[in-house]
């Protein structure tokens, strides 16, 4: 199994890479902008890891990264599209209406970036030899609870994550004929580097939203779910909320 992971140099992407290698994956391909972190992680993980510095908003750069994966490992069997940016903004701000450049940037990374990796990776999956079920590959996109209960100031982020949820079923229906499954995970708050500088009282408020267990999610738990989706062929065409039962309030 060879998996291409966007946002692969840190957070949920890094955790997924580590876990899949521990479970015997033939290779993981880490796409990320952070060259220093990516190169260090590649060195740490060894020969079964390949880092390709990639701006996922650049369609040609993503294609080159997938081509590098094929050159190194010979095939791509799975995608975990974990790269995303927040881009907080309200429709009406103190300085007037929303800056459309900010909105566009979130959509380019979170939606277009995900599409770029899917179009390149799935095209290569179609060449894979099918298994006994006829499966050739699996795509796992990463949305958010904000796709359902977007908070004030999250219109760009919520719209981008809702777009991923909305694409899941039509993609699963289209690609079923080719033996490629499509799933989306909508995680809650996980204890990743993105929260390192968040005030403790804000973290506590996030934990209060969780029904059980009363803590932030562990990246290793997300990675375990990624493995479950890859291994279990009945996961298809669905978005799973993965948040300990948390429901987001109107304001953070």
Q: What is the pLDDT of residues 93-115, one digit of tens each?
A: 999 999 999 999 999 999 999 99
Residue 250 lies in a domain: no
Task: Please tell me the predicted confidence (pLDDT) of residue 237.
Answer: 98
At 26, the pLDDT band (50, 70, 90 cuts) reads very high
For residue 69, the model assigns a pLDDT of 98
Average pLDDT over residues 191-208: 83
Question: How confident is the model over 30-57, as a mean pLDDT?
Answer: 98
Q: Is 157 a catalytic residue?
A: yes
Sorted by sequence, the CB contacts under 8 Å of residue 199 that are 6+ apart come out as none
Find the distance separating the first CA and the last CA of the chain, reported in whole Å. Answer: 39
pLDDT given at position 168: 98
Determine which one of 148, 157, 195, 240 is catalytic: 157
The answer for residues whose C-beta is within 8 angstroms of residue 165's C-beta and 6 or more apart is: 143, 147, 184, 186, 239
Taking the whole predicted model, whether its pTM rises above 0.85 is answered as yes
Torsional sign, CA 5, 164, 84, 65: positive
CATH number (domain holding residue 152): 3.40.50.720
Full DSSP string of 21-44: HHTT-SEEEEEES-HHHHHHHHHH
Reported as a pLDDT band with limits 50, 70 and 90, residue 195 is: confident
Residue 8 in any domain: the answer is yes
Q: Which two tokens stand for residue 8?
A: 């692969």
Q: Are 49 and 28 in contact (CB under 8 A)?
A: yes
pLDDT at residue 251 tops 90: no
Q: Say how far apart CA 96 and CA 41 lie, in whole Å.
A: 43
Tokens of 176: 């079923």
Nearest partner of 19 among 32, 40, 34, 5, judged by Cα? 5
- In a domain? residue 251: no
Residue % of the chain over a pLDDT of 90 = 92
Burial class from Cβ neighbours inside 10 Å (0-12, 13-18, 19+) for residue 188 reads: buried
From its phi and psi, is residue 74 left (phi > 0), alpha (psi between -120 and 50) or beta?
A: left
* 245 within some domain: no
Residue 196's pLDDT band, with cuts at 50, 70 and 90, is confident
Domain span at 43: 2-239
Is there a domain that residue 67 lies in? Answer: yes
The span from the CA of 187 to the CA of 17, in Å, is 17
Residue 68 placed within a domain:
yes
pLDDT reported for residue 200:
82
Residue 244 belongs to some domain of the structure: no
Among the listed ranges 45-54, 151-160, 191-200, 201-210, which one has the minimum average pLDDT value?
A: 191-200
Q: Does residue 52 lie within any of the structural domains? A: yes
Q: What are phi and psi of 74, to 5 degrees?
A: 90, -10
- Look at residue 142 in the predicted model and tell me its pLDDT: 98
Identify the pLDDT of residue 248: 93
Total structural domains in the chain?
Answer: 1
Angstrom distances, CA of residue 178 to CA of 85, 99, 202, 250: 31, 41, 45, 41
If we measure between CA atoms, which residue out of 53, 57, 49 comes closest to residue 16? Answer: 49
Residue 13 has pLDDT above 90, yes or no: yes
Task: Say yes or no to pLDDT of 51 above 80.
Answer: yes
State the pLDDT confidence band at 194, using cuts at 50, 70 and 90: confident
Q: Is pLDDT above 80 for 197?
A: no
Average pLDDT of every residue of the chain: 96
**What pLDDT does residue 201 have?**
85
pLDDT in tens, 60-90: 999 999 999 999 999 999 999 999 999 998 9
């Amino acid at each position: 199994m060879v998996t291409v992971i966007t946002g692969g140099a840190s957070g949920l992407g890094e955790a997924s890479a580590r876990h899949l290698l521990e479970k015997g994956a033939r290779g993981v391909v880490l796409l990320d902008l952070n060259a220093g972190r990516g190169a260090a992680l590649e060195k740490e993980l060894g020969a079964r890891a390949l880092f390709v510095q990639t701006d996922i908003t650049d369609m040609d750069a993503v294609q080159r990264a997938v081509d590098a994966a094929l050159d190194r490992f010979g095939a791509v069997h799975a995608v975990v599209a974990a790269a995303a940016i927040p881009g907080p903004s309200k429709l009406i701000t103190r300085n007037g209406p929303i800056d459309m450049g900010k909105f566009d940037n979130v959509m380019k990374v979170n939606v277009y970036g995900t599409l770029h990796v899917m179009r390149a990776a799935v095209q290569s999956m179609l060449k894979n030899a099918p298994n006994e079920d006829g499966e050739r590959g699996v795509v796992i996109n990463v949305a958010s609870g904000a796709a359902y209960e977007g908070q004030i100031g999250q219109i760009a982020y919520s719209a981008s994550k809702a777009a991923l949820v909305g694409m899941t079923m039509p993609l699963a229906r289209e690609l079923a004929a080719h033996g490629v499954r499509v799933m989306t995970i909508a995680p809650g708050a996980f204890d990743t580097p993105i929260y390192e500088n968040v005030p403790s009282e804000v973290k506590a408020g996030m934990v209060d939203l969780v029904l059980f267990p009363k803590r932030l999610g562990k990246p290793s738990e997300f990675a375990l779910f990624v493995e479950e989706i890859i291994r279990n062929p009945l996961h298809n065409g669905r978005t799973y909320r993965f948040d300990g039962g948390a429901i987001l309030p109107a304001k953070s």
